[in-house]
Homo-oligomer: A and B are copies of this chain.
Amino acid sequence: MTGTLPPPERGREIPPPRAVVERIVALALAEDLGRGDVTTEACVPPGVRGEAHVVARQPLVLAGLGVLREVYRQVDPEVEVHDRARDGDALERGQPVAHLHGRAASILAGERVALNFVQHLSGIATTARRFVEALPPGSRTRITDTRKTTPGLRPLERYAVRCGGAHNHREDLSSAVLIKDNHIAAAGGVRAAIERARRHAPHTSRIECEVEDLEQLREALDAGAEVVLLDNFDDEMLPEAIALARGRALVEVSGGVTLARVPIIAAAGADVISAGALTLGAPAVDLGLDWIGP
C-alpha cells in the first residue's frame, strides 16, 4: 500500500444507480416544468409532432446523455431519443449528441432541463479532461475531485468527473477518514487525532491526514497516517515534502491547484492531485436543441 498507485486503465464509466438519476431528474422537472408548460399549451396545437437534434455548440467532453434520456422518459415516454455520441467522447463544435422524435409539446417541455443537465455535466467532464491531459505522459499521478460539489448533484458530478478521465475522492463523510485542520484543532493535535482515528475508524478505511507544513507532515507520518494531504504547499516545498513521505504514505496534493500547476505537482511525485475546480468552478459548456421540423 505504501507504494504508489498503479496507473488507471480507463474505459466507459458506470453511471449512478437508476434510482439516483430518477430522483434528481424528477426534482428538476418539478422545478422547471411545474404543472405544465403554458407557452406550449397556448401556442402549439395538440397533435403536432417534431424532430430535433441536440448539438454541441463548442468543443467539449460529453457527460449526461443518460440524464437527458431520463428527462424525456419522465416528460413523455413516447419521445424517442437516439444517441449520436457516448459519454466520455470528445466532440467538436456542431457534432450531434442525440436525435429526438415525438410530440412537439413534449420535446419543448423538456428542452431546458435536459440541456441544463448536459451543459453542466459536460462542463465538468471537459474540465476534468483538461486536468488529466495536463499530466506529463506516463504519469502515475491521479487527478481527483473533492467534496466541493453542487448540493444535490454530487452523484452526477462524480460520474462526470470519471467521464473526463479523472478519479473520485471519497463519496461522503461516512465513507472514509480524512482528518482536516479543524479536526486537528478539535482533537488536540495531529498525533492525537490520528491515534484516536486508528482506534475507532472502520478497518476498511485508510487514515488520511491533511498537513500544512513539514513539521505536521512528520508528525502525521510518525503517527501512522497512510495518506497525507499536503494542503496549500507551494511548488518549492513540494519535492522535499513528497520525498519525506515516499515509501511511508500516499501523497495527495490539494489547495490552489490550477491547470498550470498540474504538471509541476505531478513531476514532484504526488500520487494524487485533488482539485475543487473540477466541479465547483467548472464552466458549463454550450449545447443547443436544433428543431428540424415536423
Contacts and interface: CB of A to CB of B under 8 A. Distances in A.
A227 B166 CA distance: 26
- A43, A116, A200, A205: which has the most chain B beta carbons within 10 Å? A43
Contact of A204 (B6, B187, B208): B208
A142 B203 contact: yes
A260 interface: no
B201 A227 contact: no
B7 A35 contact: no
A112 B178 CA distance: 13
Contacts of A59: none
B200 A19 contact: no
Interface stretch (A129-137, A233-241, A261-269, A280-288): A280-288
Interface in A34-85: 34-46, 48, 50, 52, 74-76
A48 to B, nearest CB: 6
A17 B168 CA distance: 25
Interface residues of A, number: 121
Contact of A153 (B38, B113, B152, B179): B152
A45 B187 contact: yes
A293 interface: yes
A91 interface: no
Interface in A165-206: 167-183, 185-187, 192-206
A5 B203 contact: yes
A204 B182 contact: no
Nearest to A30: B19
Given A19-B29, A176-B175, A284 B284 contact: no
A183 to B, nearest CB: 6
Contacts of A29: 17, 19
A284 B280 contact: yes
Interface string A98-122: 0000001101110111001101100
24 contacts: A6-B199, A16-B36, A17-B75, A18-B74, A19-B26, A31-B151, A39-B173, A39-B180, A43-B177, A43-B197, A108-B186, A113-B151, A116-B147, A119-B148, A120-B280, A151-B152, A167-B202, A169-B204, A171-B174, A171-B202, A176-B202, A181-B291, A182-B289, A203-B252
Given A25-B151, A35-B155, A175-B175, 20 more contacts: A6-B198, A9-B200, A16-B35, A28-B151, A31-B155, A33-B173, A34-B172, A39-B178, A42-B199, A43-B192, A45-B187, A108-B182, A111-B182, A120-B151, A171-B175, A182-B291, A185-B293, A203-B206, A204-B227, A281-B284
